[in-house]
Amino acid sequence: MPHKVLIIIGDAAEALDTLYPFFRLKEAGYEVVVAGPQARLYHLVMHEIPPGWDITREGPSYHMAADIAFADVKPEEYLGLFVTGGRAPEYLRYDQNLMAITRHFFAADKPVASVCHGVEIIAAADVIGGKRVATVAKCAMDVTFSGGTFVNEGCVRDGNLVSGRTWHDNHLFMREFMKMLAAAEQAV
C-alpha cells in the first residue's frame, strides 16, 4: 500500500501551488489525500503580477475536491504534509484541527513542504521558531514574527521543513520534498 501525503486546501488556494505538487506526488506513487475545512469542492485561484502592477491579481481557476475534513484527519497515518499557498491560508490558520495536524508533523519530524502564503499556516501553528524559511516576500513578516528567519530563495530546507517562495519555485522545493519523503519511507 502506498504511503499517504496530505495536501491542505481551502477556497482561494492557488492553483499552481496546489496542482503541481498534487500530480508530482501521484506520479511518484504516493497516495495523495486532500484535506480542507470540510470534505467538499473548493475553488482554486490563479495569482500573477501583471506587467506594471505592484501587487498580485487574482482570477478564478480550477476546482479541487477535499477528500477529508481537517477534523477527520489522523495525522499519524501520513508520511508527509504539503501546505499550499494562495489566500486560503489567511482563514485556514484559524482552524484548530489544522493547527493540531500541522504541529503533529513537526513534533514527529515528518517531511513538510510549504509554499507562498502556506507560511501563514505553519507560522500560526508556532512551529517555525529558529528555522530558515522561504515564502513570498510579502509574507516575510509572518516568518519573523514567528521567530523564524526569512530567506528569499526558491528552496530552503531547515530540518523537516522545505519551503519555496511561489509556484515559480515548484521545480526547486518539490525536488527536495520528494527526497525527504523517500528518506522517510526508508525509515518506516
Catalytic site residue from 3, 47, 104, 117: 117
Handedness of CA 53, 58, 59, 64 (dihedral sign): positive
Q: Judge whether 104 counts as a catalytic residue.
A: no
69 three-state secondary structure? strand
Phi, then psi, of 179 in degrees rounded to 5: -65, -40
Neighbours of 98 (CB within 10 A): 24
Distance CA 2, CA 140 (A): 36
Neighbours of 47 (CB within 10 A): 22
List active site positions: 117
